[in-house]
Amino acid sequence: MRLRHDPVYPSRRSPVLAENVVATSQPLATQAGLTIMQQGGNAVDAAIATAAALTIVEPTGNGLGSDAFCILWDGVKLHGLNASGRAPAAWSPERFPDGMVQYGWDSVTVPGAVSAWVELSEKFGKLGLATVLAPAIRYAEDGFIVSPVIARLWAKGAEILGNQPGFAETFMPNGRAPKAGERFRNPGAARTLRLIAETKGRAFYEGELAEEIAAFAKANGGAMTTEDLAAHTLDWCGTVSQSFDDMELHEIPPNGQGIAALMALGMLHHTDIRDDGPDDLAAIHLQIEAVKLAYADLHAFVADRDHMTEVDETALLDPDYLKSRAALISADKAQDFGPGAPKRGGTVLMSTADADGMMVSFIQSNYAGFGSGVVVPGTGISMQNRGFGFTTEKGHQNQVAGGKRPFHTIIPGFAMKNGAPLMAFGMMGGPIQAMGHLQLLLRTQLWEQDVQVAADAPRWRTIEGLDVACEASMGETLLNGLRKLGHRIVVEAPDNAFGFGGAQLIARLPEGGYMAGSDPRKDGQAAGF
């Protein structure tokens, strides 16, 4: 029977309420996380199991060659982890005379996700990698049934990347992408996951797998070496935050885009947004304008934190600076803003939570769908294309260089109040992520919508200049109101799951337990026990 999935009818999801919860973009990954918690694992164990499973069951958004970031509440303290990788040592602006490359080996930076799994397991986990990776190994070896949204994205990815080294061999069995309802196996990934478990990740960065990655790079003109892989390190970087009334939004510091959400939130503090409802024209307009101001600075200044020598996060989050930027917003018209003049001061998303109070927001990604398209033969390792996040612009803090982290889109989010956790959340989907964090936070915390309603709600995304992409579900009255203010509205198709993101949210309930929601734009599921 051919499985046909045309999401033309409105559907309703209820929030999930339980003591232990997992919310992801693919139900099999959600079940992997719950299984691990039922075996005695905690929220970190569940997050790793879920992350590993997603590399298999949702290869259209992440893989074994991904980067990763994490914000977690351990029951006492908030932690931030940056496990993004760096450029090969041989990279320089001269290597890219026509600008950064989007696909192929010259877009590949060192993958960091595996190092995040290992570090989180050793520092906070209870069960060990062999146990938590078991569900992913089973999906890879025995196969899984491909879900509808992922099948559609898989077909699109195959059209673009089918000729990249190793891609068709792994992801196009029988010469094409698998369809929804078909079974897909990835025995190479099963082998890789076992080696990761057996060696606690060392095989990936220093041993057998590292040698295979470097050899395949060399054979196809890539610059990555075993030395590049062995040099990889991650950072417990903490978080940067912005308050809004009595709560705080926490993000990972640069090289990610999370700071843009903080900047926009800080600007909105100085507006009348509290007087409006979540779907009022004035509220949407103010958010769009604040986001445009924040993103102008984001693209002008944010880079690898070690290279932000002229403008850093302290300058970008300075209260007086944000107030001055907010003053540029007009309630009556849309504007095309450029970057400001701050002075230097003094990026698949899953959420898990357990009955002991641990909460995790974890994100990993290959960047553009399958990433670079490069897949190392016999390993199932699809390599990210994070190198495309660099610029070749001379003097820019994000200019490409060997050993440097690129600007990153993927970001986990976390909300706190009076030193206690409120919500672990985030949104996959490239450039919408920071503005998506803002929309989700305001809906849940300012306008008190439950997490599933916030995930279901219509979204918008700034593009460039006065252009704003909107979902048709915003309604013609609101869309026409935005047009009258000068916004150039582009209504995008409802199946543009990437463009409007995929949110996963877990909120802590006042009397214990959690409420979880999963985005209907994805195949995902929130579940608990």
Q: Are 251 and 264 in contact (CB under 8 A)?
A: no
Closest listed residue to residue 465, CA positions, set 496, 487, 493, 492: 487
Q: Are 366 and 38 in contact (CB under 8 A)?
A: no
Closest listed residue to residue 294, CA positions, set 217, 242, 223, 346: 242
> Would you state the structure tokens that stand for residue 407, as one six-digit string?
């600007």
Q: What is the DSSP letter of 146?
A: P
Q: Rounded to an integer, what distance in angstroms lies between the CA atom of residue 451 and that of residue 443?
A: 8
Q: Rounded to an integer, what distance in angstroms lies between the CA atom of residue 32 and that of residue 47?
A: 9
Q: Catalytic residue at 347?
A: yes
Amino acid at 325: R
3-state secondary structure of 478: helix
Q: Rounded to an integer, what distance in angstroms lies between the CA atom of residue 505 and that of residue 257?
A: 19
Q: Rounded to an integer, what distance in angstroms lies between the CA atom of residue 24 and that of residue 46?
A: 11
Q: Are 51 and 117 in contact (CB under 8 A)?
A: yes
Q: Are 242 and 219 in contact (CB under 8 A)?
A: no
Q: Are 364 and 410 in contact (CB under 8 A)?
A: yes
3-state secondary structure of 100: coil
Provide φ and ψ at 476, rounded to 5°: -65, -35
Helix H, strand E, coil C: the string for 249-278 is EEECCCCECHHHHHHHHHHHCCCCHHHCCC
467-473 LR contacts (CB < 8 Å, sep 24+)? 468/288, 469/499, 469/500, 471/500
Q: Rounded to an integer, what distance in angstroms lies between the CA atom of residue 158 and that of residue 412?
A: 28
Q: Rounded to an integer, what distance in angstroms lies between the CA atom of residue 71 and that of residue 79?
A: 6
Query: Count of residues for the chain?
Result: 529
Residues whose CB falls within 8 Å of the CB of residue 304, separated by 6 or more in sequence, listed in order: 86, 254, 255, 397, 398, 404, 405, 406
Catalytic hit among 347, 379, 391, 444 = 347
Q: Rounded to an integer, what distance in angstroms lies between the CA atom of residue 353 and that of residue 121?
A: 15
Catalytic (active-site) positions: 347
